Amino acid sequence: MEYIDHHGRETAYRYAARGGRDTTCVFVHGSGADHRVWKSQDRLARDMAIAAIDLSGHGDSDDIATPPGSETLDRYAEDVQAVFEAVDGDVLVGNSLGGAVSMWVALEYECDLTGMCLVGTGAKLAVHERIRRMLSEDFDTAVETLHRPGWLLKEPESPLGEASRQAMYEVGRRITERDFLTCHKFDIRDRLDEIEVETLTIGGMDDRLTPPWYHEFLDEQIPQSRLVLVDDAAHLLMLEEPETFNEHLAAFVDELS
């Protein structure tokens, strides 16, 4: 792992580059996860530099003391900006909460973005009241509910599902709840036309958390967007269909170069 000091805290990220393009992609995970959710994208390091971040309080990164919502969103955006600058980034790739953070960086922060890839995310990320209550009162049930078929994964009773559950427990209830509540308060539907970078929007056809129409809306409202919907995949489609995801991302980066 690599580390960058900024704003009085340390942010961790995994970096890999084994030749190929001069492009660097910075990957941003979603709620209750860490950089390992992008493990299937390691193979892209043959063709580009990749940096997968641990947002504050996740993985090896220092935590923050902020309430859910805009303050936490800004701290996460600072994490991304710091790593992006440290690795001379070009493209942001964000899943779920990470997509929200990426869009917020594109709108509000000074980053020399060439492109952005939005994966399993949306312009508004409302979380059902029942899930919010579970995250506060019954974390075990929340974790199992999020791992129903078609939520985080199409087939959660699998090694991928076990790894996803374990990651959520490692992040812990408090930070996972903060993540989901920050998602719940996120809404930039009226600002999507301000996103000025080339954007690839990828969604899973079986995603019940951010269904295909979320991605269709992003594609319609972001001026320079293209849309891909992937069969046989839910919210973490980059894990479920890594070859398809990697092919689309590599082609997108090729077009930007």
In angstroms, the CA 141 to CA 157 distance is: 15
Angle at 95 between CA 31 and CA 122, to 5 degrees: 95
Q: Could you tell me if 146 and 131 are in contact, meaning their C-beta atoms sit under 8 angstroms apart? A: yes
What mean pLDDT value characterizes the chain?
96
Q: In the predicted model, is pLDDT for residue 20 greater than 80? A: no
Q: In the predicted model, is pLDDT for residue 244 greater than 90? A: yes
DSSP bridge partners of 58:
none
Beta strands in the chain (DSSP E): 2-6, 9-16, 24-28, 49-53, 91-95, 115-119, 198-204, 225-230
Q: Could you tell me if 93 and 248 are in contact, meaning their C-beta atoms sit under 8 angstroms apart? A: no
Backbone angles phi, psi at 237, to 5 degrees: -65, -25
Angle at 252 between CA 236 and CA 234, to 5 degrees: 15
Q: Tally Cβ neighbours within 10 Å of residue 145.
A: 15
Q: Which region among 1-5, 20-24, 100-104, 226-230 has the lowest average model confidence (pLDDT)?
A: 20-24
Q: Could you tell me if 167 and 33 are in contact, meaning their C-beta atoms sit under 8 angstroms apart? A: yes
Percent of the chain with pLDDT over 70: 99
DSSP structure string for 18-66: -SS-S-EEEEE--TT--GGGGGGGGGGGGTSEEEEE--TTSTTSPP---
Q: For the chain, how many structural domains are there in total?
A: 1
Its domain, for residue 240, covers 2-256
Q: What is the CATH classification number for the domain harbouring 230?
A: 3.40.50.1820
The H or E element that residue 81 is part of is: helix 70-86
pLDDT at 19: 74
* Across 140-167, average pLDDT: 95
